[in-house]
Structure 1
Amino acid sequence: MIEVFCTNVTCKNQAALILQKLSETFTNCYFNFDLEDCDNILRVESKKHHLNVDSIQNLVRESGYQISVLDDN
């Protein structure tokens, strides 16, 4: 399963901290940011488990950033 999020994370240091928290919390998922995209994309992939979108969003929000699921449009 893959989910793509729009964020307001803008620099590599911010992204690295969030990626570390996400990786520690969701050990069966792969995370990466595309900060060169206009939506500052956070991409999450899990090959074995269903993604808990709410938990991922809550962790990012608790870190002080905005996040929302990117529409398929």
Structure 2
Amino acid sequence: MIEVFCTNITCKNQAALILQKLSETFSNCHFNFDLEDCDNILRVESKNRTINVDSIVNIVRDSGYQISILEDI
């Protein structure tokens, strides 16, 4: 399963902090940012489980950033 989020995270240091928090909380998921994209994409992939979207959103928002699911068109 893959989920893609739009964020307002713009620099590598910010992304690294969020990636660390998410990886510590969700060891079964792989996370990465595409800060070159205009939507500052956070991509989450899980091979064996569903992705807890609400918890991911809460972690990012609690860290002071904006995040929303990027809907398929």
Common topology (TM > 0.5)? yes
Post-superposition Cα deviations, 1:37-71, rounded to whole Å, max 9, x if no partner, equal: 00000000000011010000000000000000001
Residue 54 in 1 paired to residue 54 in 2? yes
Amino acid at match of 1:25: T
Question: Using the alignment, how far apart are the partners of 2:28 and 2:60 within structure 1?
Answer: 17
- What is the 5 A alignment of 1:1-73? 1-73=1-73
TM-score by length of 1: 0.99
Question: Using the alignment, how far apart are the partners of 2:52 and 2:35 within structure 1?
Answer: 23
Shift of 1:17: 0.2
Partner of 2:51: helix, strand, or coil? coil
Question: Using the alignment, how far apart are the partners of 1:57 and 1:47 within structure 2?
Answer: 20
Instruction: Mark the runs of 5 or more structure 2 residues left unpaired by the alignment.
Output: none
May I ask how many residue pairs the two structures share in their alignment?
A: 73
Question: Using the alignment, how far apart are the partners of 2:22 and 2:55 within structure 1?
Answer: 10
Aligned Cα root-mean-square deviation (Å): 0.4
